[in-house]
Structure 1
Amino acid sequence: MRRIVIHIALVAGAALTLAGCGFADVRSPVPEFMRAKAPEPAPLEPASDVKRMLKEKLDSVFTAASQPTHVRVSEPRPNLRGPGWTACVKAEVISVIGKPLGTQTYRIEISEGVIADRRQIEPEDTCMSESYEPI
């Protein structure tokens, strides 16, 4: 009887030890055949018609009080920071008190066919080298 209990304990211990030998993470330092496969990247959604979106919802980029004129947009590019697309938008705007501010440039992020975010460009943005078309 005692011998059976010892065998069961040894088998259970071996089973628990081997249960921890599953596949390792993608970045773990084990041989390639032991690593889990890297997840497939999400499929890229089709590019939206940015010109049409801006014609319909220009107030999602510029406030109505700024009275944007000469609005121009670049071609959409895949967003490197997440899903969706990005594009650059330029327009001549005026301040709240009516003085011209000049050309303002914004980078817009498009997700699921909607302008999800907009921000002024930063030095590392590529908006300065983009070609623009009027809307």
Structure 2
Amino acid sequence: MAGAALTLAGCGFADIRAPVPEFMRAKVPEPAPLEPAPDVRRMLKEKLDSVFTAASQPTNIRVSEPRPNLRGPGWTACVKADVNSVTGQPLGTQTYRIEISDGAIADRRTIEPEDTCAGESYEPI
């Protein structure tokens, strides 16, 4: 009985990378459809506090075009602004990468060397 169960268990489809003929492999799943490009300028006007604190008094705010997020679903964009420290001293221009998911700013972080924000073109909001 156990031998018959093991024999029948092997009749299913193989993994997509298995070394079996194509017709025996499971189908590659379709990627999720990309949501429409967000209006980042409008989002920042409405929820600027999701990127900058009010105490930083951001000025000269600029944003790049949204790009599909290569690390997951949604979109990313770069945001630059001249900001102040907590004590009111100017810190200069700070650049952040924001992640947009389901039409909202989901995350923001300081740019890293592998980010492409340095090569982006920016428009004021």
Shift of 1:19: 3.4
Question: Which of the pair is proportionally richer in helix?
Answer: 1
Q: Which amino acid aligns with 1:42?
A: A
C-alpha spacing 1:13/1:90, structure 2 compared with 1 (3 Å): same
1:47 counterpart = 2:37: yes
CA RMSD of aligned residues (A): 1.4
What secondary structure, in the 3-state scheme, does the structure 1 residue paired with 2:78 have? Answer: strand
Cα distance in structure 1, aligned partners of 2:24 and 2:70: 30
The structure 1 segments of at least 4 consecutive aligned residues displaced by more than 3 Å after TM superposition are: 12-16
User: Quick one: which of 107, 129, 134 aligns to 2:119?
Assistant: 129
Q: Which moved more, 1:100-109 or 1:16-25?
A: 16-25
For residues 7-60 of structure 1, what are the alpha-carbon distances to aligned partners after superposition, in whole Å with 9 as ceiling and x for unaligned?
xx6xx8546513322101112222222110010000000011100000010000
Partner of 2:97: helix, strand, or coil? strand
User: Which segments of 5 or more consecutive residues in structure 2 lack a partner in the other structure?
Assistant: none
TM-score by length of structure 2 reads 0.94
Q: Deviations over 1:66-112 (max 9, x none)?
A: 00000000000000011100000000000011111000000000001
Q: Give secondary structure in 2 for the equivalent of 1:18.
A: helix
Per the alignment, in what secondary structure is the counterpart of residue 41 of structure 2? Answer: helix
Equivalent residue pairs, number = 125
- State the identity as a percent: 86
Stretches of structure 1 that go unaligned for 5 or more consecutive residues are 1-8
1:6 — aligned with what?
A: none
Counterpart CA distance in 2 for 1:16 and 1:129 is: 57
Q: Normalising by the residue count of structure 1, what TM-score does the alignment of the two structures yield?
A: 0.88
